[in-house]
Homo-oligomer: A and B are copies of this chain.
């Protein structure tokens, strides 16, 4: 922490600030300039409330040096984290495709879509069984039945599976069936849920909250990591901005800036970000061109009758065409697919 103090502050007031910093456990180095005294308050105090110092008389400004997270930071671990799911590696040279329907609806649907995504190069099958819906009157998912069908479809086609957890009491049930837990945007700040996921060793895909900063996103990752689970995949899924032409604003630059701060791999989810089928294709290409490690795409063979988010599901032939384009773009940036 760096504390900037007014040069004209009486000596005893400066001493008082230093004493206060010492009391909180910081070592203090002082440099005196022309207009300000700079106090370097050294020592790691994660979670320290800097307002306590900001409010002291004569303090001009306070800056946090250490990031509020540690395990998630590249300062702590510079080498890229590669996450293994069965025989797949997320975070390495290969772009991993995660695809499938928004929600598991019935056996026929999930089996058909598993086949479609497998045939086009996806490695992981997605499908929601517990859905967090804005309206209490909307379809809320099939529950355990959905988990079983997802597992069965994954196993039938040699795909790993991912599904969303919205409530910690479902933890043991979902862990039994899934390869990867997905935490949705609305639960990025759900600390009790993040804590329990820290006790698992199965990977967790943590979506960014819709107005979260990069630091807050990594702070939520820290909750999982500090619980003992090192397998966190970050997922950018669109943020809220003032323009409402699309469902959200797909923040592709976050893919690049988060990698500057963390060693964790990043996935991009243009389906939720954009919300309209035809515009998802160019955005998926863009995410790959920007260097995402993984891509999550919703696909449905009959989106008009899908029970949730049909408008943002690609048709199988669109998905197939997109995969061909991605293969070409992957070459340009020396990635495999």
Contact = CB atoms under 8 A, between A and B. Distances in A.
Interface string A194-225: 01000000000000001111101001001100
Given A40-B38, A213-B242, A245-B214, A134 B289 contact: no
A260 B245 contact: yes
Interface string A238-275: 01111111100111111111001100000000000111
Interface residues of A, number: 106
A75 B6 CA distance: 9
A305 to B, nearest CB: 10
A42 B36 contact: yes
Number of copies of this protein chain within its complex: 4
Nearest to A248: B253
A309 B51 CA distance: 9
Interface stretch (A81-89, A144-152, A182-190): A182-190
A246 to B, nearest CB: 5
B40 A33 contact: yes
Name which of A4, A31, A240, A260 has the most chain B CB atoms within 10 A of its CB. A31
Prevailing SS type, chain A contact patch: mixed
A33 B43 CA distance: 8
A42 B249 CA distance: 31
A158 interface: no
Given A4-B65, A40-B33, A169-B169, A219 B134 contact: yes
A124 interface: no
Interface string A170-198: 00000000000000001101111001000
Interface of A: 2, 4, 6, 27, 29-36, 38, 40, 42-44, 46-47, 49, 51-52, 54-55, 60-61, 63, 65-66, 68, 75, 132-138, 166-169, 186-187, 189-192, 195, 210-214, 216, 219, 222-223, 226-227, 239-246, 249-257, 260-261, 273-277, 279, 282-283, 285-291, 304, 308-312, 325, 328-329, 331-333
24 contacts: A2-B38, A6-B75, A30-B31, A31-B40, A33-B42, A35-B44, A36-B66, A38-B38, A51-B312, A135-B219, A136-B191, A136-B227, A186-B191, A213-B243, A239-B242, A239-B249, A241-B249, A252-B286, A253-B273, A253-B283, A282-B291, A282-B333, A289-B289, A325-B332
Given A187-B190, A245-B260, 17 more contacts: A27-B33, A34-B43, A36-B66, A46-B137, A49-B308, A51-B275, A51-B311, A134-B216, A136-B222, A166-B191, A186-B189, A212-B242, A245-B257, A249-B251, A250-B253, A256-B283, A286-B290
